[in-house]
Structure 1
Amino acid sequence: MAENRRARPMSREDRRAAIAEATVPLLEQHGATVTTRQIAEAAGVAEGTLFKAFDDKRELLMAAAARVFDTAVAVREIDSMPPAADLTQAVTGVVELMNATAVRVRRIMIAVHAIAVAEAKGPPGLPSGPPPQADARDARVRALQELNDALTRRFDPFRDDLRIPPEALARLLLSTVMGRIPPGMPDDDGLTVQLLVDVLLHGAAA
């Protein structure tokens, strides 16, 4: 007789992580207006399950935003890149990765700001609470430092090819790529990966 095996129930922390992960694309697409019904459908759970895992919608959305600011995945991707043949290849690879990340982070930051504004007005569905700007800002600072360290490791083998330290190139790359799409500007601003790499390595002068 076959043994009757039941899947182990998901822990509350695992459930929170799964729901937050499923919420991220919705938060990017809809911002703070995403509904709990949409989230429940994306996560494959009942709406009531959301509020067993989270106290309210605000906590859920902020947990989703925090996952975007978590740099663990990007750092692992940078550290796992195969050795580059030269400095140009090394910079191109990380600019491609960070360029996609910059667009995503910008969309999430706009959503986080919308949550803060909504809380200040106190609409239904977003209970009032401490403004999230400070937490989001601290998370972003930590994320950028972790990324800077990973980029420095990536560029360090080409230290002799640089006139500035690898850590300085890392900071410049992050400032250029992560800060290139301010709020109000379209995601597609015409700055291609090739152009960003060329300016980072050779400057803008003719």
Structure 2
Amino acid sequence: MSRDDRRAAIAAATVPLLARYGSAVTTRQIAQAADVAEGTLFRAFEDKDELIHAALVAALDPAPLVRAISETADRGSLAETLTALAELIQDSQRATAKIVQVAHQVMGDRGGPPGGPGDDARRRHRDDVHRNHGKQGPDSHRDARMSAVQDIVQAIEASLVPYADELRTEPRVAASVFFFLVHGHASPLLFQDGPLDATQIVDVFLHGVLEAPCQGAGPPHAAVRPPDPHVAAPDPTASLA
């Protein structure tokens, strides 16, 4: 295994530990999870901080969620498939929220004068995130978030294609609405008793909020098309920062 592959494997093994223990995770726990000797960690990484930075970057990679969504095809009914997808997205959001808290602990709590260790840590993490997504420049963070959302929505769309005949919109439109409905209900601040669960979200998505279905209230399937890519649209990731 190359050094880069070893680093990637260790970082991936560290992600769930960060979600569970935060920045208090020990190198011994990481070594056990990665199934390597503790000394191997420091041959792959300069120190624990660099390892945690690599894990934070790995945690923000949408690829694992995209793969999980792609593997959720053919769950039976449309409602069952959507419920499984909603649960995957919600689980990913909870883990990512915890990781973001760790990122603030690791970088935000490191005060000091400009150019000090805190600035170095923040700069290294920012550069790593941009490099991980193949982006550079002032818009790289927004571009990376946009790309991640598009990858996730495309995976959801592929899962909905087999049910296209049951939908009143194109699968792409349904996928976009579904993702942002699930994502938008992740915050516990929205509901006194906590966010909606996957079953509740799917019920509202499929049946709306009216007591009885509204006949002919919207455009037919063929009339609802994906947005024109040549027409500027609001930034869908503005609330994902």
**TM above 0.5, one fold?**
yes
Contact 1:102–1:179, Cα closer than 8 Å, also in 2: no
Higher relative contact order (CA 8 A, sep 6+): 1
Deviation at 1:17, TM superposition (A): 2.1
Is 1:143 the equivalent of 2:134?
Answer: no
Mapped to 2, the partners of 1:171 and 1:144 lie a distance apart of: 9
Q: 3-state DSSP class of the match of 1:18?
A: helix
Give the AA of the match of 1:102.
Q
Q: 1:166 aligns with which of 147, 150, 171?
A: 171
Q: 2:187 aligns with which of 174, 182, 185?
A: 182
- Which residue of 2 is the match for residue 62 of structure 1? 53
Deviation at 1:117, TM superposition (A): 0.3
- Which residue of 2 is the match for residue 3 of structure 1? none
Contact 1:116–1:133, Cα closer than 8 Å, also in 2: no
Mapped to 1, the partners of 2:153 and 2:109 lie a distance apart of: 33
- Paired residues for 1:36-185 under 5 Å: 36-121=27-112, 128-130=121-123, 132=125, 135=129, 137=141, 139-182=144-187
Q: Deviations over 1:113-162 (max 9, x none)?
A: 32230344589899634063583755443322211101111112333432
- Which residue of 1 is the match for residue 225 of structure 2? none
Deviation at 1:70, TM superposition (A): 2.6
Mapped to 1, the partners of 2:98 and 2:163 lie a distance apart of: 33
Q: 3-state DSSP class of the match of 1:128?
A: helix
Give the AA of the match of 1:77.
A
Q: Deviations over 1:16-65 (max 9, x none)?
A: 12211221122101223333343234334444432321233333112212
Give the AA of the match of 1:11.
S
Q: Go from structure 1 to structure 2 and tell me whether the alpha carbon gap of 1:86 and 1:36 turns closer, same or farther (over 3 Å shift).
A: closer
Contact 1:98–1:178, Cα closer than 8 Å, also in 2: yes
Q: Go from structure 1 to structure 2 and tell me whether the alpha carbon gap of 1:119 and 1:167 turns closer, same or farther (over 3 Å shift).
A: farther
Is 1:17 the equivalent of 2:8?
Answer: yes
Give the AA of the match of 2:123.
P
Contact 2:73–2:81, Cα closer than 8 Å, also in 1: no
Q: Sequence identity, in percent?
A: 39
Contact 1:102–1:177, Cα closer than 8 Å, also in 2: no
Deviation at 1:12, TM superposition (A): 1.0
Contact 1:149–1:167, Cα closer than 8 Å, also in 2: yes
Contact 1:57–1:125, Cα closer than 8 Å, also in 2: no
For structure 2, the residue ranges without an aligned partner over 5 or more in a row are 131-140, 212-241
Give the AA of the match of 2:3.
R
- Which residue of 2 is the match for residue 34 of structure 1? 25
Contact 1:20–1:67, Cα closer than 8 Å, also in 2: yes
Deviation at 1:97, TM superposition (A): 2.0
Give the AA of the match of 1:69.
L
